[in-house]
C-alpha cells in the first residue's frame, strides 16, 4: 500500500554532514520526500516525541542526545514506506545492522544511531502529526 512514514536524521548524522547521502538512499529506494525541515529540538519537544520511552532507563540519554544539535525531520512516501524505510535504516543497534544499511554505515552506537523511523503505520501517523501540519505535507502535483 502507499504509505507515509516519519524519518529523522539525528544530530550525529547531521554533524557528520551526511544529510544528502541519507536522502539519496531514500530516493534510490523509491521513497519520496513529501515534507522536510531542519530543527533543533527543545527538551520538551524531544520528551514529547519519545513519550512512549519515558520509563526506559535510556530515556534521559536519548533526550540529551536528540537535543544536542540540529536534526532533519522528513515525511517519506512510497509503497510500503514504513517497512522499506526500516530496511534502509537497519537494526536499531548498529552492531546488528546489515551491511549497506544506514546504521551499519553511519551509526556508532545504539544511542547515537544516525536515523529514526516510525515502526508502524499507526505510529507514523502520530509521529508525522507531531512535527507537521497537514498543509506542510505536500501532495504530488506532477
Interface residue list for ligand CMP (CB under 6 A): 53, 58, 62, 92, 110-111, 113, 116
End-to-end CA separation in angstroms for the chain:
20
Q: Distance (Å, rounded) from C-alpha 75 to C-alpha 81? A: 10
Residue found by looking up cell 536515523 in the block: 115
Minimum gap (Å) between residue 139 Cβ and ligand CMP: 27
Report the 10 Å Cβ neighbour count for 113: 23
Name the burial class of residue 80, with classes exposed (0-12), middle (13-18) and buried (19+) by CB atoms within 10 angstroms of its CB: middle
**Residue closer to ligand CMP, measured from CB, 16 or 138:** 16
d(CA 103, CA 109): 9
Closest separation in Å from C-beta 121 to ligand CMP: 16
- Give catalytic status of residue 53 as yes or no: no
The residue number with the shortest CB distance to ligand CMP is: 116
- Could you tell me the smallest distance in angstroms from the CB atom of residue 80 to ligand CMP? 18
* Binding site residue list for ATP: 10, 58, 86, 92, 103, 113
Residue among 65 and 132 whose Cβ is closer to ligand CMP:
65
* 37 within 8 A of 106, measured Cβ to Cβ: no
Residue with Cβ nearer ligand CMP (92 or 138): 92
Give the residue numbers annotated as catalytic, written as ranges: 116
Amino acid at each position: 500500500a502507499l504509505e507515509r512514514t516519519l524519518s529523522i536524521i539525528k544530530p550525529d548524522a547531521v554533524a557528520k554532514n551526511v544529510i544528502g547521502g541519507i536522502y539519496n538512499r531514500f530516493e534510490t529506494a523509491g521513497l519520496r520526500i513529501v515534507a522536510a525541515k531542519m530543527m533543533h529540538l527543545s527538551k520538551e519537544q524531544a520528551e514529547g516525541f519519545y513519550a512512549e520511552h519515558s520509563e526506559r532507563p535510556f530515556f534521559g540519554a536519548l533526550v540529551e542526545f536528540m537535543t544536542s544539535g540540529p536534526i532533519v525531520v522528513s515525511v517519506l512516501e512510497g509503497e510500503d514506506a514504513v517497512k522499506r524505510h526500516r530496511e534502509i535504516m537497519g537494526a536499531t543497534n548498529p552492531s546488528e545492522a546489515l551491511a549497506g544499511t544506514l546504521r551499519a554505515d553511519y551509526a556508532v552506537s545504539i544511542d547515537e544511531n544516525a536515523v529514526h523511523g516510525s515502526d508502524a503505520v499507526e505510529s507514523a501517523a502520530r509521529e508525522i502529526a507531531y512535527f507537521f501540519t497537514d498543509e506542510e505535507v505536500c501532495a504530488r502535483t506532477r
